[in-house]
Each structure stands twice: as structure tokens, then as C-alpha cells.
Amino acid sequence: MDHFTKIGRAITSLGAVIFVQMLWVGAMIFFSHTLFTDVLPSYMTPWEKKVAAWFIAFAWEFIVLVTTCNVKFINKHIPPFMAICSGIILLYFLDAFDWSQPALVISERWFVSILIATVNFILSDLFYKRWMEFNESISLPGQVNELQSEVNQLRSQLNDSQSSLNEARSLKAFKAKIERELTCKHCNTPFESYGSLHAHKGHCSKNPKNLTPSMTQ
């Protein structure tokens, strides 16, 4: 395997997605912490505000990640809404609502906020899909073994059915043979036993041995 193939596999691996996701969440935690520190009430002591802001920032960013990765259990519109909220947080962090700034600066900050919110949602969605793919690849050998067990069981049932079918055919052939043997070959009358058949042959009207000489002429 060449180096470019190794690099490609590393970039497209689940580990790479997790690494980038953690870097992104870490950066967003600092943004959120700064904003939450500013908006927490002034009657809190500085250390209380910092500690509370850190907890809120960690909780918020991981809530965004967790809700996106568990979208199948919640309303599908919630992850996009969370991403929009992350963008709004960044808008406040960058003072994007300060209209006294030049229009170019405002547009740059709005663009960066929208871009980061979009990337945040895309990374979370990508992580969820790769994680599901990873779990499927782990469970695949077990599923293959289960399918192989089912195939073996069906094959055993098929063999049993084939044996039963062969036995039924043998019984049918034996029955047909017995029926032929218990049928009078002169008048084709079936009987229940060999004794009845032999008794019948002695006086069967179509038995050549029972015909009188006048009847044979």
C-alpha cells in the first residue's frame, strides 16, 4: 500500500472525523464561554461567572453534537435550529449586530458566523453517519454468521424434506405395485387381499381356464 492510499484512508476514517469534530467543539466552547460570561448577571462573583459559563458552554456545544447524532429520536428540524442558534451565538461573539461598523466588517462577521454554523451542523451529521457505518461494519460478521446459521438450518430442513419426499415416492411406488398384484389381470377387478384374488381367479368369467370348450370355439 502506497503512502497516498494510507493518507486517503486516514482522512476518510472515522478517527479523522472525530478528531476534527473535537477540535471544532473545543473552539466553539471558547466562543460560547465568552458570550455566556458577558450575559450572566453582574451580581455573580467573577469566579462564579467563569465557572458557570464554562459549564454552560460545554453543555451547549455537546447538546448540539448529541442532538445531531441522535436525530432519529427527535424532531428532524431541531438539529438545523440548533445550528442556527450556534451561528447567532457567534454573531454576538463577533459583535455582528453593531451597525456602527463598516458594512464590509459586518458582512464578513455575518458570513463567518453562517459558515461556522453550517460547518458545525455538517460535521455533526457526518460524524453520526460515519458512526452508524462503523457500527454496521462491526455487526456485519455477526449478521453473516446468523445468516449462515439460517442457511444451514434451511439446508437441513431441505434435506429432511427431500428424504421424506423420496420415502413418499417409494411408498407410492410400493403401493402401486401391491395394487397391481391385487388386481385380477383378466377382468381388472381390485381386491383387498391375495386370498380374495386367488379365490376370484378360480371362477373369473374372463379367465381362459374357466371358459368351457364351446365358449372358446
Task: Tell me the domain boundaries of the chain.
Answer: 3-141, 154-207
Nearest to 184 by CA among 169, 212, 203, 159: 203
Residue 183 and residue 200 in contact, taking contact as beta carbons nearer than 8 Å: no
For residue 216, what pLDDT is reported? 44
Tell me the per-residue pLDDT of 115-157, one tens digit each, with 9 for 90 and over: 887 887 777 777 777 777 777 777 777 777 788 888 888 888 8
In 22-156, at which residue ranges do the beta strands (DSSP E only) sit? none
Tell me the per-residue pLDDT of 61-95, one tens digit each, with 9 for 90 and over: 787 777 766 766 777 777 777 777 777 877 877 78
For residue 197, what pLDDT is reported? 65
Query: Percentage of residues in the chain with pLDDT exceeding 90?
Result: 1
* pLDDT at position 50 over 60: yes
Out of 18-27, 72-81, 100-109, the most confident range is 100-109
- Chain centroid to CA 114: how far? 34
**pTM for this structure?**
0.49
Residue 17 and residue 126 in contact, taking contact as beta carbons nearer than 8 Å: yes
* pLDDT at position 113 over 80: yes
Question: Mean pLDDT for the chain?
Answer: 77
**Torsion from C-alpha of 56, 62, 67, 69, nearest 10 degrees:** 180
Instruction: Kindly report which listed range (111-115, 140-144, 157-161) carries the lowest average pLDDT score.
Output: 140-144
Nearest to 187 by CA among 202, 168, 176: 202
The single-letter DSSP state of residue 185 is T
Determine the Cα–Cα distance for residues 212 and 215; give it in Å rounded to an integer: 5
Which residues are paired to 183 by β-bridges?
190
For residue 217, what pLDDT is reported? 43
